[in-house]
Chain A
Amino acid sequence: MHDVKRRYVIPGDKIADGNFRPLMNVIKSGNALVATRIGIAETGRDGVKVIPLSGVYIPRVNDLVIGKIVDHSSLSWEVDINSCFSAHLPAQDVFGRDFSPARDDMSKHFAVGDMITARIMAFDRTRDPMLTVQDRDLGKVPRGELLKISATRVPRLIGKRGSMIQTIEQATQTRVLIGQNGIVVVTGRDPEGIKLSVRAIQMVEDEAHTANLTQRIKVLLNVPDTPQEITRAPIGNGDAKSGEIDSNMGEVEEELEVEGEK
């Protein structure tokens, strides 16, 4: 990654000329590579991409998301995943292949208003995303404080190798469940800890684009500023969806902050 160049771009900005491959949010116009979204342009060995700083959540296969059950038909649940696409969770995914709409009561499993963690099983923009809960730690979210942040801020909230979220979790004694679609659920025993955790998450969202954020979060959480090796507990109870998130994106944003400090 040492030869990667980064800068802020807006739609229409020319990022580079030449024989590069256009990747995420980049199109090729003649010989020029042009950004299609506001974000950070990154020119690497494999091509040019723009990491968006604004916009809605666009599902990707294998993403872990937190969604709200908004309706169900006789064959599937409709899930609001905080995107322009409405997701579907097939009843067979929950009840198995011998699911019978006449016999099985879908609302007993997931009712309208329930929150679920799910993985995007299939999505290709021509059809709505299909979800699955057939994995460890997926399914209904039983409790917690609900928060919605911009999906583009999720990598920042996680930080480099999960550093930001671990700082927040350890300082506030809470567990933070993050969906890649920007839905966050905070759980914990101490209401004050939850409140502080929520404040920290909101601060990350509001100031994600600014430099020196980790430092300010540490000040907010009253964490001593000593370099320490953070070891994360084994993933359990579905709270470490962050571990699944494109850690590369988190790193990019973390490095940006370092650049900003110079």
Chain B
Amino acid sequence: MSASRRSPVIVEHLRKQQMWDALAKGKRLDGREFDDQRPLEIELDVIKKANGSARVKLGHSEVIAGIKVSTGEPFEGLENKGALIVSAEVLPIASPHAEPGPPDEEVIELARVVDRGVRESEMIDLEKLVLVPGKVVYTVFVDCSIVNTDGNLFDATSYAVVAALLSAKLPVLKMEGEKVVDTSETRDMPITTIPISITAARIGDHVLIDQGPEEEACMDARITITTNEEGFCAVQKGFTGSFTVEQLKKAAQSARVKGEEVRARLKELTAK
């Protein structure tokens, strides 16, 4: 599936008309306001064998993220930092349109946007994940499995990754000569901040957040804005349509306000 291809969901013209009529009246087809998110459920530690994990349901979109920590060589140019690798896979059970096989461009984009949010916000202090500078570092693999697709996978996946990282326990490793030895102890992941992404879609002149599958099939442009406690950390725009300055401000405002709400929920959840 090419990145430029529209959603595989074909929305009936009658339904599109209904959607446009509703949007013109300031409503969405499911009754939400433009800046309302669908119900969000976050569950931590769903995979016992992983170093950290979370399951997130946003509407009917469902994502499970798992963290596995191992050791390896640092990336070139980042010798004094641990490695973070985020990958995503849409399982064939997730949607009638999903096929088995390697991730397509859209899923690679999904993993990269989520990765960017975590990386650019410096959520994990990667400098604390070094065992031998330039030689051995912790490698944090974050694998996301999309179990069900119901629109806005960007936010659902992003919350799953952030929640899994917040719940993750890092194995304490030490070097004995050239060998890495597991001490069987664990410590918290060096978390510095909590990045939250909010995706806004433009349909006609209307900007709405957390688009459902039908809205996704009708949208002209999409923008994912990641914020942390201090402000904006990452932005990714999708589709060929554009945003006006006013529309961007609106999306940014929603990203800050809604981002704060989701962040508060995550803090509350991980504090337990």
Contacts and interface: CB of A to CB of B under 8 A. Distances in A.
Answer whether A and B are interacting partners: yes
Nearest to A80: B10
Nearest to A113: B13
A75 interface: no
11 contacts: A80-B10, A113-B11, A114-B13, A115-B12, A115-B13, A144-B14, A145-B14, A146-B14, A146-B15, A146-B18, A185-B14
Interface string A129-161: 000000000000101111000000000000000
A111 to B, nearest CB: 8
A112 interface: yes
A143 B17 CA distance: 9
A256 B236 CA distance: 57
B16 A113 contact: yes
Nearest to A68: B12
Contacts of A112: 10
B188 to A, nearest CB: 47
Nearest to B25: A191
Interface in A153-197: 185
A213 interface: no
Contacts of B16: 113
Which 7 residue pairs of A and B lie closest in terms of their CB atoms, listed nearest first?
A113-B13, A146-B14, A146-B15, A70-B10, A68-B12, A115-B12, A115-B14
A143 B14 CA distance: 6
Contacts of A114: 12-13
Contacts of A80: 10
A146 B15 CA distance: 6
Nearest to B11: A113
Interface string B1-20: 00000000011111111100
Interface of B: 10-18
A223 B58 CA distance: 39
Contacts of B18: 145-146
What size tier do the contact residues of chain A reach? 10 to 19
A141 B10 contact: no
A68 B18 CA distance: 16
Contacts of B12: 68, 113-115, 146
Nearest to B18: A145
A70 B16 CA distance: 15
B48 to A, nearest CB: 35
A70 B18 CA distance: 19
Nearest to B15: A146
Contacts of B13: 111, 113-115
Contacts of B11: 113
A157 B13 CA distance: 25
Nearest to A140: B13
A91 B15 CA distance: 25
Contacts of B15: 146
A251 B85 CA distance: 61
B198 to A, nearest CB: 29
Nearest to A144: B14
Nearest to A141: B14
Nearest to B217: A113
A80 B16 CA distance: 17
A146 B13 CA distance: 10
A50 to B, nearest CB: 27
A186 to B, nearest CB: 10
A113 B10 CA distance: 6
Contact of B10 (A68, A145, A146, A185): A68
Interface in A43-91: 68, 70, 80
Contacts of B10: 68, 70, 80, 112-113
Contacts of B17: 143
Nearest to B16: A113
Interface string A95-118: 000000000000000011111000
Highest count of chain B CB atoms <10 Å: which of A113, A115, A143, A144: A113
A231 B18 CA distance: 32
A142 to B, nearest CB: 9
Nearest to B13: A113
Contacts of A143: 14, 17
Given A114-B13, A115-B14, 13 more contacts: A68-B12, A70-B10, A111-B13, A112-B10, A113-B16, A114-B12, A141-B14, A143-B14, A144-B14, A145-B14, A145-B18, A146-B12, A185-B14
* Residue among A70, A143, A146 facing the most chain B CB atoms (10 A cut-off): A146
A203 to B, nearest CB: 17
